Amino acid sequence: MTSIAIVTGASSGLGEELVRRLDAGAFGRLDQIWVVARSAARLDELAATCATPVRTFALDLTEAASFDVIERALAERDDVRVALLVNNAGFGTFGEFADMPAGDNASMARLLMLAPVELTYRALPRMAAGSRVLNVASVAAFVPQPGLATYSASKRFVLDFSRALDEELGPVDIHVTALCPKFMRTAFLDHAGADDVAAGMARLTGFEDVGRVAERGLAAARAGRALCIPSPDMRAFYLAAKLLPYPLVARAERALLSVLGQPPRNA
């Protein structure tokens, strides 16, 4: 049996960190790690520094044909078992929905929602008892976020999709974990646009360490936990968002953003 992990968005940030930890044995023995992102050069660099054999897939996961490539690779050998699938690739554009660059909203929706659905569906036949799916959501999933509407709604989808799937697959000991980090200092913010909005939100939540998020996420996946919110303050926020009516949470968030120097939105 060839035991593999597949990690999307492995060319930088959290994905790269996850691969390094997998390479160091954080998920037990793996025969191969398959890494996916658009940047072939960065994937090759990563592969060259791993002790575990790494297979690179330079693919754009907003394109439907990319999923066929991975499915075909999975079908090459009968003995491949997907021990772990990490759906991590993502980007988020901040700002008013109507002002976003053309195509950003649709790309975000495709990458954040469709890609995990497609990859999970295609990897499932290669999974067995003990296999895990780790889906990277975000604390942005907890309440609708004006200024980040498509991103936060897409991450909500990831959260709900993961939890429902975990219930469905739990009886055969395949578990699905939704990982909900707050801001991390990765390339994510470089591509986020609308610096004032992003900076205001980052001031509101603060940052957490990408290494710690990776460690917690992998531990939760190994343990078969459906939800992982690494930051304690965000666990409190999650609870508040479940208990309080949305307009109240939205008002509190606007007030906090305003105190922290960002102009109130939708006031």
Ligand X SMILES: NC(=O)c1ccc[n+]([C@@H]2O[C@H](COP(=O)([O-])OP(=O)(O)OC[C@H]3O[C@@H](n4cnc5c(N)ncnc54)[C@H](OP(=O)(O)O)[C@@H]3O)[C@@H](O)[C@H]2O)c1
Catalytic residues: 151, 155
Burial 140-160 (b: 16+ CB within 10 A, else e): bbbbebebbbbbbbbbbbbbe
Residue number closest to ligand X, CB atom: 13
CB of 63 or CB of 173, closer to ligand X: 63
Q: How many CB atoms lie within 10 A of CB 181?
A: 28
CB of 69 or CB of 128, closer to ligand X: 69
Task: List residues binding ligand X (CB under 6 A).
Answer: 9-15, 37-39, 42, 60-62, 88-92, 111, 136, 138, 181, 183-184, 186-188
CB of 2 or CB of 107, closer to ligand X: 107
Shortest CB 61 distance to ligand X, Å? 4
Quick one: DSSP state of residue 245?
-
Shortest CB 171 distance to ligand X, Å? 28
- Distance set, CA 186 to CA 12, 66, 189, 225, 255 (Å): 8, 25, 7, 25, 27
CB of 61 or CB of 220, closer to ligand X: 61
Shortest CB 49 distance to ligand X, Å? 15
CB of 3 or CB of 176, closer to ligand X: 176
Q: Kindly give, in sequence order, each residue whose CB lies less than 8 Å from that of residue 121, ignoring residues fewer than 6 positions away.
A: none
Helix H or strand E segment including 169? helix 149-169
DSSP letters for 57-78: EE--TTSTHHHHHHHHHHTT-T
Helix H or strand E segment including 82? strand 80-87
Q: CB-hemisphere CA count at 13 Å for 100?
A: 22
Shortest CB 187 distance to ligand X, Å? 4
DSSP lists the bridge partners of residue 93 as none
Shortest CB 263 distance to ligand X, Å? 22
Q: Kindly give, in sequence order, each residue whose CB lies less than 8 Å from that of residue 236, ignoring residues fewer than 6 positions away.
A: none
